[in-house]
Chain A
């Protein structure tokens, strides 16, 4: 909101206080002055008045009161002087009522006649334009002027355009109003209107209608100063997309205490600038004035709360300066809260006032004295940190992607789509759904980075979201990807990536994982994975941990991704459940192992897992490890490949002799021949 420094100076003596100084003081004690701009001989403050202070401080008087209090100067608000004409009475000229009392808590009005509507005097025009308002005519301008002065929005109607009694009521569905700027708005019963017997005169709290607006032809004026209920005004403004200085103020919940004061000031100002006569009497509909509010507290509580002492005299000065009435009764400070400050309700609110005016810089830091308890770590978070640190150490960069994806991304996330969360109000179609998988964002990250990097790895531990039985399900997912621009060595890249996964699981204490490429229809590979170069990762106990593999070449093509990309997705919760937190020491073998090598031919389709199975189940009781160290396919024999393994034999009880090992080796060879048709070399 904009404020004129000179204008503030009409209510408090600013001699010797520069605009910048005053701005700084307000920022430190009242509200943030975002900018101070010099305009001619004046300065304009751009102040961020937050919702709780709009009712009392969206006005020059409100800001001036703060300044006066901060500089211990006298605050002199306007004192409107009205010369009422006893020949005309307001209630003979017009009648007003609040039909729906939930829409307005007060409606005050005055009648002016013989008004000369013309261009405003230059001082008035300048002041309005300085603060961003357009000049219309001297009556409308005066209403805006007093709004900026008092914070109370006011409206002027051409009384001759009004037929019969004026009322504040809920609109009826289908009613319309053409506002002062020429737009016609269609209303519902949620909107509030000022109407007479024939038509709608204004959209209450928001904007006036053109048919009853004040023009150069107007001679009789009905001035409105009312308090419209904030909820209705806010909803109407939002629904119709019409936001005005008036609606902003009403939406924050103005106090009804100000209406008549502002009304009188407006009348005084109009008479000054446009002449005319003020009909005697104020029409004031005020069905339920709110009860007086008060709080009571002991002086010690102030210090207890703020952590600094403030003398009773200072407390009294501050609160009185804010409009409160202060006295002591039975050792307690009794404070009558001002009507103009609806944001003050309880003792804490009063302590805040005392604290901020005194200045938070006066509060010295005092460390808290309390019991010490060790902070409880969040175990799930600690686990995620281990995963993150392990992947970082393995050469993968952690990325932070958005949790939103587009409609098109669904093809990459999963095969079914009735479990997605959609936003009612996305900022764009790219960010319309909550992600169910890290893959779509990963693909974008890879695509972007491939322009500059040939080889890189990334990971993220982030949330994915699904809808299950209409309820939200959030799970932490671990996504890992490696991109290599060069095309050759694809198999090796696959194995390197597989090694990363094995290392990660080992580090987490998940030993003995196995990889299943026999994909069932009930649990297919997620989209985007190369069907013959991917596997589901299981624990020894057949718990599914995740999936890994190469990026489907069609997907790579579609997204202009070059080279080879390998990805893995793990459910973090599953990893955590299977992870071993601590291991127990196992005795290091006392006796040396015996190593033997074995090489043989098998058919090309024979899988390593099957060979290993045969080796371990051949009845060689001291075989503790096998290690594939060579494999090639150009064997000279059609459809066969050659494999070679190190076989490691060891006993817990004694050093094995050659003769022990030979017998077991024989059994192994027999099993290979029998079960796999192997040709031993």
Chain B
């Protein structure tokens, strides 16, 4: 029978020349496997007299532990070495170009419209929409713009042929502004109310860098018991602060100057201070009593303001686009930029 010391020497010799995990496993089997040297030795201890067993037994077990520990350590260091080799082999040149998946996005008009609508939603404005094909009544008469009034010349209208459902007194047209929805909404809902109305509007215009036959507007209407021009100013200032992301400066950010729209009284143009200049951004005013009447409301009970913002114009200001036609050309190179 082998002596324990021989077994130890055997183990030491074998463990010196380990190259990889395969070798290690072979050694483990040789020494500690079912027929391994040490295993056999430990099994043979049952035939050894007790005195000797007491002496050799513990040493044998100690050797077993030592061999096991050494095997574990070797396993770990071999694995580490092999890992290092693998990592180095797997080196990639990170400066190689990535393979891209095209991300695409919203049209700038949609993005601007959403942004503006969200700001108003945060101020408690509900979003309402209305039809593109409108009646003369809602587009003009109900907004205090009677037929044959020169104010009608302020909006060049596209008229529709053969609208059998309407009469000569109430012809069909493409809406020239989103204001008709003010009346439509007030017919259905009693104030207090706050709404914004996004939508496409249509004007008979020669198309050039700043004019188009179709563009997007965002109408706003707020009606309550006691509403003043000062309230309008505060609200529109809040909007532009949010939209352009500026802090309130010493100079007023918005200024109101007199203008005229038949459905408001007084009427204003609102200019916004942006990038060092005053920009005309929207028309607004206090809702005209005749508009309340057209909606079936009592003008003495309510006060409110209305405004109309050109989304195309806002987009042009925001992105620095100088030609409105670009927004309708849909050149993907243009869309990608924004």
B-binding residues in A (CB < 8 A): 27-32, 50-54, 230-231, 234-235, 251-253, 304-308, 346, 348-349, 351-352, 355-356, 360-361, 363-368, 370-378, 380-381, 385, 388-389, 391-404, 421-427, 431, 434, 445, 448-449, 452-453, 456-458, 463, 465, 469-472, 474
B319 adjacent to chain A (CB < 8 Å) = no
B266 adjacent to chain A (CB < 8 Å) = yes
Contact assessment for B172 and A472 in the assembled complex, using a CB-CB cutoff below 8 Å: yes
Contact assessment for A28 and B257 in the assembled complex, using a CB-CB cutoff below 8 Å: yes
Contact assessment for A32 and B259 in the assembled complex, using a CB-CB cutoff below 8 Å: yes
Q: Can you name 6 A-B residue pairings with CB atoms under 8 Å?
A: A52-B260, A53-B260, A375-B122, A377-B121, A399-B335, A403-B214
Please give the distance in Å from A116's CB to the nearest CB on chain B. Answer: 39
Contact assessment for B222 and A368 in the assembled complex, using a CB-CB cutoff below 8 Å: yes
Across chains A and B, the number of contacting residue pairs, with CB separation under 8 Å, is 242
A469 to B172 Cα, complex, angstroms: 14
B72 adjacent to chain A (CB < 8 Å) = no
- Interface 9-residue window, one of B2-10, B53-61, B86-94, B157-165: B157-165
Contact assessment for A50 and B259 in the assembled complex, using a CB-CB cutoff below 8 Å: yes
For A368, the closest partner residue in chain B by CB is: B231
Contact assessment for B107 and A399 in the assembled complex, using a CB-CB cutoff below 8 Å: yes
Q: Given A306-B228, A403-B200, is A348 in contact with B288 using a C-beta cutoff of 8 Å?
A: yes
B320 adjacent to chain A (CB < 8 Å) = no
Contact assessment for A356 and B266 in the assembled complex, using a CB-CB cutoff below 8 Å: yes
Contact assessment for B268 and A251 in the assembled complex, using a CB-CB cutoff below 8 Å: no
Determine the chain B residues whose CB is within 8 A of the CB of A431 once the complex forms.
Answer: 213
Q: Given A371-B192, A448-B331, A474-B131, is A346 in contact with B172 using a C-beta cutoff of 8 Å?
A: no
Contact assessment for A355 and B289 in the assembled complex, using a CB-CB cutoff below 8 Å: no
For B231, the closest partner residue in chain A by CB is: A368
Determine the chain B residues whose CB is within 8 A of the CB of A404 once the complex forms.
Answer: 213-214
Determine the chain B residues whose CB is within 8 A of the CB of A456 once the complex forms.
Answer: 332
Q: Given A427-B204, A452-B331, is A51 in contact with B257 using a C-beta cutoff of 8 Å?
A: no
User: Of B268, B333, B335, which is in contact with the most chain A CB atoms at under 10 Å from its CB?
Assistant: B335
Contact pick for A373, options B124, B233, B289, CB 8 Å: B124
Contact pick for A400, options B148, B230, B330, B333, CB 8 Å: B330
Contact assessment for B289 and A346 in the assembled complex, using a CB-CB cutoff below 8 Å: yes
Contact assessment for B228 and A304 in the assembled complex, using a CB-CB cutoff below 8 Å: yes
Determine the chain A residues whose CB is within 8 A of the CB of B122 once the complex forms.
Answer: 375
Contact with A along B158-200 (1 / 0, CB 8 A): 1111111100000010100000000000000000101000001
Contact assessment for A348 and B330 in the assembled complex, using a CB-CB cutoff below 8 Å: no
For B224, the closest partner residue in chain A by CB is: A370
A458 to B102 Cα, complex, angstroms: 12
Q: Given A360-B268, A398-B110, A474-B132, is A304 in contact with B226 using a C-beta cutoff of 8 Å?
A: yes
Determine the chain A residues whose CB is within 8 A of the CB of B159 once the complex forms.
Answer: 423-425
Contact pick for A396, options B104, B125, B200, B289, CB 8 Å: B104
Determine the chain B residues whose CB is within 8 A of the CB of A28 once the complex forms.
Answer: 255, 257
Determine the chain A residues whose CB is within 8 A of the CB of B126 once the complex forms.
Answer: 375-378
A320 to B115 Cα, complex, angstroms: 46
User: Of B131, B330, B333, which is in contact with the most chain A CB atoms at under 10 Å from its CB?
Assistant: B330
Contact assessment for A375 and B110 in the assembled complex, using a CB-CB cutoff below 8 Å: no
Determine the chain A residues whose CB is within 8 A of the CB of B153 once the complex forms.
Answer: 51
A229 to B266 Cα, complex, angstroms: 26
Contact with A along B92-122 (1 / 0, CB 8 A): 0000000001111111011000100000111
Contact pick for A424, options B161, B288, B289, B327, CB 8 Å: B161
Please give the distance in Å from A367's CB to the nearest CB on chain B. Answer: 5
Determine the chain A residues whose CB is within 8 A of the CB of B277 once the complex forms.
Answer: none
B40 adjacent to chain A (CB < 8 Å) = no
A193 to B13 Cα, complex, angstroms: 131
Contact with A along B221-260 (1 / 0, CB 8 A): 0101011111101110110000000000000100111111
Determine the chain B residues whose CB is within 8 A of the CB of A348 once the complex forms.
Answer: 265-266, 286, 288-289
Contact pick for B133, options A304, A401, A474, CB 8 Å: A474
Contact assessment for B333 and A307 in the assembled complex, using a CB-CB cutoff below 8 Å: no
For B133, the closest partner residue in chain A by CB is: A472
Contact assessment for A234 and B286 in the assembled complex, using a CB-CB cutoff below 8 Å: no
B63 adjacent to chain A (CB < 8 Å) = no
For B286, the closest partner residue in chain A by CB is: A348
A378 to B133 Cα, complex, angstroms: 20
A401 to B161 Cα, complex, angstroms: 23
Q: Given A348-B289, A400-B327, A456-B332, is A29 in contact with B258 using a C-beta cutoff of 8 Å?
A: yes
Contact pick for B330, options A389, A396, A434, A448, CB 8 Å: A448
Q: Given A351-B266, A355-B229, A376-B126, is A422 in contact with B257 using a C-beta cutoff of 8 Å?
A: no
Please give the distance in Å from A254's CB to the nearest CB on chain B. Answer: 11
A364 to B121 Cα, complex, angstroms: 24
Please give the distance in Å from B27's CB to the nearest CB on chain A. Answer: 39
For B194, the closest partner residue in chain A by CB is: A375
Contact assessment for B160 and A365 in the assembled complex, using a CB-CB cutoff below 8 Å: no
B207 adjacent to chain A (CB < 8 Å) = yes
Contact assessment for A364 and B330 in the assembled complex, using a CB-CB cutoff below 8 Å: no
Contact assessment for A472 and B131 in the assembled complex, using a CB-CB cutoff below 8 Å: yes
Contact assessment for B121 and A30 in the assembled complex, using a CB-CB cutoff below 8 Å: no
Contact assessment for A32 and B133 in the assembled complex, using a CB-CB cutoff below 8 Å: no
Determine the chain B residues whose CB is within 8 A of the CB of A465 once the complex forms.
Answer: 132-133
Contact assessment for B214 and A422 in the assembled complex, using a CB-CB cutoff below 8 Å: no
Please give the distance in Å from A311's CB to the nearest CB on chain B. Answer: 17
- 292-310 of chain B: CB within 8 A of chain A: 303
For A356, the closest partner residue in chain B by CB is: B258
Contact assessment for B163 and A51 in the assembled complex, using a CB-CB cutoff below 8 Å: no
A545 to B243 Cα, complex, angstroms: 38
Contact assessment for A424 and B160 in the assembled complex, using a CB-CB cutoff below 8 Å: yes
For A449, the closest partner residue in chain B by CB is: B332
A133 to B101 Cα, complex, angstroms: 65
Determine the chain B residues whose CB is within 8 A of the CB of A392 once the complex forms.
Answer: 103-106
Determine the chain B residues whose CB is within 8 A of the CB of A423 once the complex forms.
Answer: 158-161, 174
Contact pick for B105, options A372, A397, A402, A421, CB 8 Å: A397
Contact pick for A360, options B149, B231, B237, B257, CB 8 Å: B257
For A441, the closest partner residue in chain B by CB is: B330
Determine the chain B residues whose CB is within 8 A of the CB of A50 once the complex forms.
Answer: 154, 259-260
Determine the chain B residues whose CB is within 8 A of the CB of A366 once the complex forms.
Answer: 228, 230-231, 233-234
B219 adjacent to chain A (CB < 8 Å) = no
Determine the chain B residues whose CB is within 8 A of the CB of A457 once the complex forms.
Answer: 102, 104
User: Of B129, B207, B331, which is in contact with the most chain A CB atoms at under 10 Å from its CB?
Assistant: B331
